[in-house]
């Protein structure tokens, strides 16, 4: 009986730890929380590398909610968010914006400076909706996702425009 219990415990741990394996370059090595649980919440931008940060004195947020919009797409809220994105032919200038949109994980082929294939849930797609016919989408590679820290890098692929240069954003969960 003891041997059976020990064998079952070893099998359970082996299967459980395998499902919690490292996905992102900068960690974590193991997490007991799902990627979905870790990524949902209100994220405050703490650093941006690759482009100048606009209005660094203003707190900038993105909230990735659990509210399902369609399929695997979930509602996103952008508050005082870094701009210079374009909607159609109109650039927003050098201010911050407040918009809604959606987010989703993705995996598969991407393009940018280097073509790369991401594993399932290794990418993050952010879509900003200004009006039904004007929207901007950026795809990011997730470098780090813990319950308290998110680091993403782009460009991976771009629709319309969004800086046109590689940048790395680090967020902390509120």
> Would you state the structure tokens that stand for residue 31, as one six-digit string?
């997490």
| Mean per-residue pLDDT over the chain, rounded | 75
- CATH architecture for the domain at 23-173: Beta Barrel (2.40)
**Least confident segment among 27-41, 135-149, 153-167:** 153-167
Regarding pTM above 0.85, the answer is no
pLDDT at 83 over 70: no
Average pLDDT over residues 106-133: 75
Phi-psi region of 121 (alpha: psi -120 to 50; beta: other; left: phi over 0): left
pLDDT category, 172, cuts 50, 70, 90? very high
pLDDT of residue 146: 93
The answer to whether 135 and 87 are in contact (CB under 8 A) is: yes
- Given a cut of 70, whether residue 91 has pLDDT beyond it is no
Residue 86 has pLDDT above 50, yes or no: no
Examine the pLDDT at 151 and tell me if it is beyond 90: yes
- Give tens-digit pLDDT for 34-69: 999 999 999 999 988 877 777 788 899 999 999 999
What pLDDT was estimated at residue 153? Answer: 86
pLDDT bucket at 28, cuts 50 / 70 / 90: low
> Does the pLDDT value for residue 19 go beyond 50?
no
Domain spans of the chain?
A: 23-173
pLDDT value of position 54: 72
């Amino acid at each position: 009986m003891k041997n059976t219990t020990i064998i079952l415990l070893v099998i359970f741990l082996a299967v459980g730890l395998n499902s919690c394996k490292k996905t992102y370059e900068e960690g974590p090595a193991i997490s007991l929380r799902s990627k979905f649980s870790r990524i949902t919440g209100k994220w405050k931008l703490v650093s941006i590398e690759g482009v100048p940060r606009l209005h660094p004195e203003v707190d900038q947020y993105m909230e990735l909610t659990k509210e399902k919009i369609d399929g695997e797409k979930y509602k996103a809220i952008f508050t005082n968010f870094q701009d210079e994105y374009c909607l159609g032919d109109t650039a927003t200038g050098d201010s911050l914006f407040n918009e809604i949109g959606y987010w989703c994980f993705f995996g598969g082929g991407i393009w940018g400076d280097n073509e790369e294939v991401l594993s399932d849930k290794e990418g993050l797609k952010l879509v900003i909706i200004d009006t039904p016919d004007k929207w901007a989408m950026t795809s990011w590679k997730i470098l780090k996702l813990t319950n308290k820290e998110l680091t993403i890098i782009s460009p991976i692929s771009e629709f319309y425009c969004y800086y046109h240069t590689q940048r790395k954003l680090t967020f902390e969960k509120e």
